[in-house]
């Protein structure tokens, strides 16, 4: 059994990210997981300072999902945890319930915006049940967000929709993530504006 260890920042503003891919078949080796590589590539391209990652590939088991989220926040010390998979209406899709079970407070705007973005592409977006929450400990807090299972949908919900000239038509959810992390006491995260223009009030901008 591997004992989890706390990540150590190389810089005060380095983001510590937990990535959790939730899939019975991928975790059993039936097929290759694509969620974690897609998230690592996207975050590495968008953030101005490369983050540290702690990745987990697990089955659709509610207790294991909850335990993994607790481990990544409380033990590993992640500032942001992104999950992919397990958010539909099927009986084995229990990621939202497992996430809410470890939450200190819910952040419903993230799920609302993800569904609005996905509805631009497919009417079945109303079947998605992604949630976002904050988990707090006495000395730490983290934002946890459930993302879709497909790499293309992951990028769309994080980055938003742009017209052919590059103008933002529908903001992606990641535009709000850096300021949210500020508010819960995390590092100051900056993005490449051509990919995602992170929004902060002027009073909170360095």
Residue whose entry in the numeric block shows the structure tokens 């590092």: 187
Tell whether the model's pLDDT for residue 156 goes beyond 60: yes
2 domain-assigned? no
pLDDT at 27: 82
Tell whether the model's pLDDT for residue 97 goes beyond 90: yes
pLDDT bracket for residue 165 (50, 70, 90): confident
pLDDT at 167: 84
Q: For the chain, how many structural domains are there in total?
A: 1
Percent of the chain with pLDDT over 70: 99
4 domain-assigned? no
- Torsion angles phi and psi, residue 22, rounded to 5: -115, 110
5 domain-assigned? no
Give the mean model confidence (pLDDT) for residues 128-135. 97
pLDDT at 1: 43
Tell whether the model's pLDDT for residue 161 goes beyond 70: yes
89 domain-assigned? yes
22 domain-assigned? yes
pLDDT at 3: 62
Give the mean model confidence (pLDDT) for residues 28-32. 80
Q: Which H or E run contains 127? A: none
Label residues 118-128 b or e (16+ Cβ within 10 Å = b).
beeeeeebeeb
pLDDT at 2: 54
Instruction: Write the CATH number for 174.
Output: 3.40.980.10
- The whole domain housing 134 covers 16-204
pLDDT bracket for residue 70 (50, 70, 90): very high
- The number of beta carbons lying within 10 Å of the beta carbon of residue 20 is 29
Three-class secondary structure of residue 22 per DSSP? strand
pLDDT at 159: 93
78 domain-assigned? yes
- Torsion angles phi and psi, residue 114, rounded to 5: -60, -40
Range scoring the smallest mean pLDDT among 20-34, 127-141, 146-160: 20-34
Tell me the DSSP string of 31-62: S---HHHHHHHHHHHHBSSPPEEEEEEE-S-H
179 domain-assigned? yes
162 domain-assigned? yes
């Amino acid at each position: 059994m591997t004992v989890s260890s706390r990540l150590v920042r190389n810089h005060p503003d380095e983001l510590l990210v937990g990535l959790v891919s939730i899939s019975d078949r991928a975790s059993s080796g039936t097929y290759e997981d694509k969620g974690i590589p897609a998230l690592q590539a996207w975050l590495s391209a968008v953030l101005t300072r490369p983050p540290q990652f702690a990745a987990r590939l697990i089955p659709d088991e509610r207790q294991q999902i909850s335990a993994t989220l607790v481990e990544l926040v409380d033990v590993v010390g992640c500032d942001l945890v992104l999950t992919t998979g397990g958010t539909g209406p099927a009986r084995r899709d229990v990621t939202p319930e497992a996430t809410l079970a470890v939450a200190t407070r819910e952040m419903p705007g993230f799920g609302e915006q993800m569904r609005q973005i996905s509805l631009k592409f497919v009417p079945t977006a109303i079947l998605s049940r992604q949630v976002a929450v904050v988990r707090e400990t006495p000395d730490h807090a983290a934002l946890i967000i459930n993302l879709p299972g497909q790499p293309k949908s992951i990028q769309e919900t994080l980055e938003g929709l742009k017209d052919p000239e590059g103008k933002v038509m529908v903001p992606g959810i990641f535009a709000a993530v850096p300021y949210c992390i500020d508010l819960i006491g995390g590092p100051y995260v900056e993005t490449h504006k051509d990919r995602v223009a992170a929004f902060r009030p002027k009073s909170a901008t360095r």
